[in-house]
Each structure stands twice: as C-alpha cells, then as structure tokens.
A and B are shown apart, each in its own frame.
Chain A
C-alpha cells in the first residue's frame, strides 16, 4: 500500500495522477446532485457577470407610481415592484454580483491561508503547532460573523475589507482540517525518503505533501464557499459590506422585510429564494465532491 502510493507520487508521474483526476471528473458529471448544483451555480455566475442580459429593468430606477405592483407580469414587472417601485426580478439578478465576487475571493484567500498554516502546523508540530492550535480553538468558539463585526468597528466596510476579513477568519478553520490530513501523510515513506535526501522543509511541504492532501483541500473549498455565502449574506443583512439601496440579496431582504407585514411578500421573498438557491446549489456540489473524495 505504502509502496504503491510512493510510486504514484514520486516515480510514476503525471499520467496516472491525470487518469485519476479524469476518472473523478467523469464520476462527478454522472452525479445528479452535482449537475443540478452546477446548473444553478452557472446561472448565478452568468447573472453576476452579465445581469443586463436577462434583466428587464434598470435595478436602480425608482418610480413612486409603481410602488408594490403585485407580481407575475403586471405592468411589465415579472415579479412585481418593491417599495420604491423598482423591478424585483431585475434587482434579484443584479443582486448576484456582489456575493459572487466576495464569496469566491474570500474562499480562495481562506484556503490559501489555511493550506499554508495547516501544512506548517502538521509538518513542524511541536510548540508552534500547540500555540496555533490553542488560538484556533479560541477563535472557533466564536461565530465567524461576530468576529467580523468586531473587526468592522475599526475597519471601513468596503468590498476588499470584507473579502480579506472572511478569508482570514476562514483560514484557521481550514488549517485544522489540512493539519489533520498532513499528520497522517507525515509519517509515510515518501516524506521520510525526501527528508533523508536532505530536501528543505518548504520543498517537502509544498512539493511532496501538498499534492497528496489535494482531496481534503477541494472538499474544504466547496464547503467553505457555502459558508462564505452564508456569512456574507448575514453581514449584509445586519447592514455591513454593502451600500444602502444596493440590490445585494442580504441587504435587500433587510430593507424590504417590513413590507411583509403589509402582506407584500415579493420584495423580500424573491431575493431570499435566490439566496437559498445559491447556497443549496453550492452544498449539492460540496456533497457530491465530498462523497466522491471520501470514498
């Protein structure tokens, strides 16, 4: 077993690894949950890039005369109009952009930080690992969104700040998973062999171990992407990270939530369902990927 894995990772190179990847991809595309999730995700990605294609109105155009037009094709509004007379459907399409920029960027940063930290913790162990583990444990007793709020008291709430903030808060959580994966790899023969060859630590971590913990990294990425959307939406809902009046889903739901009480459900419910569809799609993908890699 150990011999075989040494073989694939060092001597018998790219072809076999590429075959494994290809086989994994083929199986992914046979999974129904993966395809459904992917289709929804592609739909929102498309709208984040080019919301104007499907939108019927300018999302910022307001008109008191069309306040609270009821949904389903009344007065040219597919899903009705909100309290400012703006088109609910178009705003929902434009609302995808902010979250589709912030969540993936934050996740990429989080995974990068997490992988570097996790590799170092798992490879070096010792006091560095002990101290870092303690800090991560303390940090994880707090919901990410609360720590983000704390930091936002002194930082400006721009897009870049939110991306960095969520990224760096996810990093330690991801590091824990990567560390666990590295710990099992660390004692395998190929690592010992590289150490005996006199390779430097960074070479062993990034060239030898990293490719072998690829599975957990992919799983973490998809799972964390879902949480990034969740966190960003929550922050927007309590009023951070987006400007008032922005079509962003979390922000819109917060601003339109009181209309509900007048039995006007569409301005808040449409972005709510859009948000739900995005999170569910990401989690369907994550579930499919996880099922495949864990097997």
Chain B
C-alpha cells in the first residue's frame, strides 16, 4: 500500500508540473499579445509594447515560466491586472464559496443518483427504468444554464420560494436558500452521469454469483441489497464520479455566472472578459489541481478498500 501511495503521489506531482506548463503555454505562447488584446486594435504599437513591458510579458519564455511557476510554488501567482493587487487576495474567498457550492451539489446528487440508478437497475427493462435512464441522459447533456433558467423560472419567479441569485452570506438558513438553486442546477447534469454509473454497477452486482448465493440462502431482500449489491456497486460509482470532478468544476463557470454567485467560476468568467491573465492562470491552475486532488483521493480510497491493492499484491 505504501508503495502504491508513493507512486501515485509521485505521478500527481509530475502531472501538476505538466499542468503548469500546459497553462503557461496556452495563455502565453499562442500568437497574439496581451497588450494588443487589452488596448484594442487601434492602439499604437508603442503603447502596446509599453503595456507589455509593464505587465512583464515581453521577455524570453523560459525565464518567464520559471518566474511564474517559482512564485506559484510559494503561493504567489503575481498581481491581478484589474485590481492591481495580489491574485491570492481574491482566490481563497472565491475557492471557499465554490467549495460550499460543490458540497451542496454533492449532498443533493450523491443520494439521488445512487438511489435512482439502483432503482432503475432493479426494474431493468421496465418503464420506470426507461424513464430514469432517458431523463438522466437528457439532463446529462443539457447545458447547465438551460436547466438553471427553467429552475429559476419555476422556483424563484413563479413560486417565489428561493432567491434567483446572490452569494452565500449571512445566517446558515439564508446561505442554504441561496445555494439550493445553483446546486440543483449542477446536480441535474451530474445526476445523469452518476445514475448511469450506479445503474451499471448495480446490474453487475445483481448478476454476480455472491448475490445469487445470498438470495438462495434465504437472506431478506433488503439485506441482500444493502450488504451485497450496494456494497459492491457504490465504490466504483463514487470513484468514477470523483474522476468527473473537472466536469463539475467546469459547470461552475456557467452556473455561477447565471446565479451571480461569487465563486471561482464567476471569478474566472470576469477575469477572462477583463483579460486579467494572472488571475485567470491562477484560478484555472487551482481548478486543475483540485480536480487532480479529487482523482487522487478517489484512487487511494478505492485502493484502500480493495484488499488486493491494500495488501500489496500487484494487479
């Protein structure tokens, strides 16, 4: 197990390093100039060159990468062009808000997806299975803002039960009220994915010999489901979900924009529109690192729960 953990950690560090190169390359090496993009096409070449020098984006690439990455390791991602203040003054608050939203989403979608998928598996081929599968497929491919707009229309405008947007501040109850609609929006897209995985996992577990044995030796159906089917189908489901975290994090961009929720997604959207490159690079790096961390945790969890890996046998 220790060897597995070390190897997995090592790989993550390497991938993080490559991620930083990818982000730097995409935002810096592509043809085009930040100064030109900020000042517009009618600005004189001198003022563009001056701005590029002020922003420190005119030197050779390797030193610039080293400066950026070196700072990033120490938690310094440079100054925001727009606010003229360190990027790190803004990132932690936004990250915290997004984590709240992500947790609210998972609290909604994990039980719903697992129950929905398992239920569909139990009624495989029947009408209720078709309904869950097709609505899941539909939700999974519908852009978040389409779902969000329908939810806002129903719950914020017609019924006037929940606020149509804003940030999570104030009392816990107030925060929960603000979080419900964006979290439901993100849940809709994830539900399709999660329920499909849960259904596939449950169908496999239902067909397995150990489930048949458990049923044949006379265990009550409820016990068979809990101890034999769910125990075997849940883990792969959750692991696969964790590997889809980058998808959830991408959804934050549109969802937070739609609900004016001040998290990482809205920060990225604003930074992109304002061409605030240091802010954007830092936020996107954070998202990538977060997705990687989630995958790592899921992998380690799966390994730990799997005796074959935990006890050091090679797969």
The reply to whether B146 and A142 form a contact with Cβ atoms under 8 Å apart is no
CA distance A38 to B268 in the complex (A): 36
Q: Are B137 and A154 in contact (CB under 8 A)?
A: no
Cβ 8 A contact of B254, one of A142, A152, A238: A238
Contact of B22 among A139, A238, A283 (CB under 8 A): A139
Chain B window 282-315, contacts with chain A (Cβ cutoff 8 Å), 1 for yes, 0 for no: 0010011001100100000000000000000000
- In Å, the complex CA distance between A144 and B269 comes to 14
Asked, given contacts A151-B27, A230-B141, A260-B164, whether A272 binds B150 with beta carbons under 8 Å apart, the answer is yes
B19/A150 in contact, CB under 8 A? no
**Most chain-B CB neighbours within 10 Å: which of A141, A261, A265, A275?**
A141
B interface footprint on A157-181 (CB within 8 Å = 1, 0 otherwise): 0000000000000000000000000
Partner of A138, one of B19, B143, B150, B275: B19
A129 to B: closest C-beta gap in Å = 15
Residues of B within 8 A of A155 (CB): 30-32
Task: Answer whether residue B103 sits at the interface, using C-beta atoms and an 8 A cutoff.
Answer: no
B127 at the interface (CB under 8 A from A): no
Contacts of B291 in A (CB 8 A): 141-142
Query: Which of A135, A149, A269 touches B272 (beta carbons < 8 Å)?
Result: A149
- The answer to the question of A134 belonging to the interface, with a C-beta cut-off of 8 Å to chain B, is yes
Contacts of B247 in A (CB 8 A): 143
Contact with B along A250-279 (1 / 0, CB 8 A): 100110010011010100110011011001
Enumerate chain A residues within 8 angstroms of B70, measured Cβ to Cβ: none
B7 in the interface (beta carbon within 8 A): no
Q: How many residues of B contact A (CB 8 A)?
A: 56
A140 touches B22 (CB 8 A): no
In the complex, A140 Cα to B37 Cα: how many Å?
A: 27
Chain A at the B interface: SS class? helix
Query: Are A143 and B141 touching (Cβ within 8 A)?
Result: no
Q: Which residues of A contact B179 (CB under 8 A)?
A: none
A240 at the interface (CB under 8 A from B): yes
Contact (Cβ within 8 A) B288 A141? yes
In the complex, the answer to whether B141 meets A280 with C-beta atoms within 8 Å is yes
* B157 lies within 8 A of A260 (CB): yes
B33 interface contact, C-beta 8 A: yes
Which of B16, B145, B152, B280 is within 8 Å of A153, CB to CB? B280
B288–A142 contact, CB under 8 A? yes
Q: Are B153 and A269 in contact (CB under 8 A)?
A: yes
In the complex, which residues of chain B have a beta carbon less than 8 angstroms from the beta carbon of A208?
Answer: none
Instruction: Check A268/B143 contact, CB under 8 A, given A135-B22, A141-B291, A142-B287.
Output: no
Of B137, B149, B253, B295, which is within 8 A of A272 by CB?
Answer: B149
Tell whether, in the assembled complex, residue B142 and residue A257 are in contact, meaning their CB atoms are under 8 Å apart: no
Q: Does B34 contact A (CB under 8 A)?
A: yes
Is A17 an interface residue, CB under 8 A from the partner? no
Q: Are B142 and A234 in contact (CB under 8 A)?
A: no
Q: Which of A126-141 contact B (CB under 8 A)?
A: 134-135, 137-141
Nearest Cβ on chain B to A88's Cβ, whole angstroms: 14
The verdict on B75 contacting chain A, using a C-beta distance below 8 Å, is no
A154 to B55, CA, bound (A): 14
CB proximity to B under 8 Å, residues A66-119 = none
Q: Among the listed A146, A260, A279, which residue makes an inter-chain contact with B142, where contact means beta carbons less than 8 Å apart? A: A279
Q: In the complex the two chains form, is B250's CB within 8 Å of A143's CB?
A: yes
Partner of A150, one of B250, B269, B280: B280
Is A287 part of the contact surface with B, judged by Cβ < 8 Å? yes
- List chain A residues, Cβ under 8 A from B153: 260, 265, 269
**Given the complex of chains A and B, what is the CA–CA distance between A65 and B259 in angstroms?**
30
Interface residues of B in 13-63 (CB under 8 A from A): 14-16, 18-19, 21-23, 26-28, 30-34, 37
Q: Say whether B246 faces chain A, with CB atoms less than 8 Å apart.
A: yes
With CB as the reference atom, state the residue of chain A lying closest to B158. A263
The chain B residue with its CB closest to the CB of A268 is B149
A151 CB contacts on chain B under 8 angstroms: 26-27, 30
B258 contacts A by Cβ under 8 Å: yes
B93 interfacial by beta-carbon distance below 8 Å: no
Are A260 and B149 also in contact (CB < 8 A) when A142-B288, A150-B27 are? yes
Quick one: closest B residue to A149, CB to CB?
B272
CB of B249 closer than 8 Å to a CB of A: yes
B150, A269: Cβ atoms under 8 Å?
A: yes
**Which of B21, B26, B144, B247 has the most A CB atoms < 10 Å from its CB?**
B26
- Closest residue of chain A to B17 (Cβ to Cβ) is A138
A144 lies within 8 A of B27 (CB): no
Alpha-carbon separation in the docked complex, A155 to B28 (Å): 10
In the complex, B281 has a CB within 8 A of chain A: yes
Which one, B15, B149, B272, contacts A257 given CB within 8 A?
Answer: B149
Known interface pairs A138-B288, A141-B19, A154-B34; A238-B138 also in contact (CB < 8 Å):
no
Q: For B295, what are the chain A residues with a Cβ–Cβ distance below 8 Å?
A: 141
Q: Does A215 contact B (CB under 8 A)?
A: no
Q: Is the CB of A153 within 8 A of B277?
A: yes
Q: Which residues does chain A contribute within 8 Å of B284, judged by CB atoms?
A: 142, 146-147, 149-150
Q: A146-B287, A147-B26 are in contact. Are A153 and B275 (CB under 8 A)?
A: yes
Contact assessment for B258 and A140 in the assembled complex, using a CB-CB cutoff below 8 Å: no
What is the distance, in angstroms, from A154's C-beta to the closest C-beta of chain B?
4
Residue from A150, A152, A239, A272 in contact with B281 in the complex, judged by beta carbons closer than 8 Å: A150
Residue A233 at the chain B interface, CB threshold 8 Å: yes
Top 5 A-B pairs ranked by shortest CB distance?
A143-B250, A154-B32, A138-B18, A149-B272, A272-B146
Instruction: Given contact pairs A134-B18, A263-B158, enumerate 6 new A-B contacts (beta carbons under 8 Å).
Output: A138-B15, A138-B21, A145-B250, A150-B26, A260-B153, A283-B137
